[in-house]
Amino acid sequence: MIRLFHVYKKFGANSALNDVTLNVDEGEFAFITGPSGAGKSTLLRIMFGAEQPTSGQVLVNSVNFNRIRRQKLDLLRRRIGFVFQDFKLLNDRTVSDNVAVALLASGERGAFVRKRTHQALKLVGLSGKGKSFPRQLSGGEQQRVAIARAIVNNPVLLLADEPTGNLDPDLTRDIMVLFRSIHLRGTTVLIATHSRELLSETKRRRIVLNRGVVVEDR
């Protein structure tokens, strides 16, 4: 699903990633971990095409980001879901509209959008909150809305950047259960986190970054 070959990323004189080479297979559920500033978010953003590597090759779902055109990248992103720590919801739109935006941006409309939005909200346990606004929800519920938006297009890959960073331990567990259920539906899931509690509860693969270098992969 994801292939990185000797990826480097520099921001001015600072190196965010140094010679990162890794594979994530289709259907995998893995964590990227490491201390703050290790390069986790940069790595996810490169996998999503939001950042260009300074050098190296990035292939996602068999598409080489170095050779892809802007329009093709837009189409590829419809197959990749992304969840942020700060949710990134539109506060002036209802929960349903926040989820539906991903479908509308993909060119879907009408009854299909309503049906898929309802299904996604049901999956994350928010089927009764469609008409609420994000500010009327708890942090955990807002993150569920963000996850619903990320999965509403049935992505092949779900990337999450510190998705539980703003949540308490109980809500963190709920969200992880949700990610596992999404993974069981066949989606490849990759989560960046520095939470030791989260990692201690799982034996899944973890890719450990430190100062932009993969120091452990098991």
* Burial tier of 205 (Cβ tally within 10 Å: 0-12, 13-18, 19+): middle
Dihedral over Cα of 7, 44, 9, 51: its sign: positive
Mask of contacts with other proteins, 59-98, x by CB under 8 A? -----------xx--xxxxxx--x-----x-x-x------
Q: Do 209 and 32 touch, CB atoms closer than 8 A?
A: yes
Q: Which of 43, 59, 95, 102 binds other proteins (CB under 8 A)?
A: 102
Nearer to other proteins, 75 or 177 (CB): 75
Q: Do 208 and 34 touch, CB atoms closer than 8 A?
A: yes
Give the total of residues touching other proteins (CB under 8 A). 24
Q: How far apart are CA 156 and CA 13, in angstroms?
A: 35
Nearer to other proteins, 97 or 174 (CB): 97
**134: phi then psi, degrees, rounded to nearest 5:** -50, -40
177 contributes a contact to other proteins by CB under 8 A: no
Q: Which of 23, 27, 66, 105 binds other proteins (CB under 8 A)?
A: 105
Instruction: Tell me which amino acid residue 149 is.
Output: R
Instruction: Tell me which amino acid residue 84 is.
Output: F
Nearer to other proteins, 107 or 218 (CB): 107
Number of other residues whose CB lies within 10 A of the CB of residue 57: 15
Q: Do 160 and 189 touch, CB atoms closer than 8 A?
A: yes
Nearer to other proteins, 166 or 210 (CB): 166
Whole-number CA gyration radius for the chain:
17
Q: How far is the CB of 200 from other proteins (least distance, A)?
A: 31
Q: How far is the CB of 62 from other proteins (least distance, A)?
A: 17
Q: Which of 51, 141, 161, 162 binds other proteins (CB under 8 A)?
A: 51
Q: How far apart are CA 5 and CA 103, in angstroms?
A: 32
215 contributes a contact to other proteins by CB under 8 A: no
Nearer to other proteins, 88 or 131 (CB): 88
Nearer to other proteins, 60 or 208 (CB): 60
Instruction: Tell me which amino acid residue 155 is.
Output: P
Q: Can you give the binding site for other proteins, defined by CB under 8 A?
A: 48, 50-51, 70-71, 74-79, 82, 88, 90, 92, 101-102, 104-107, 109, 149, 153
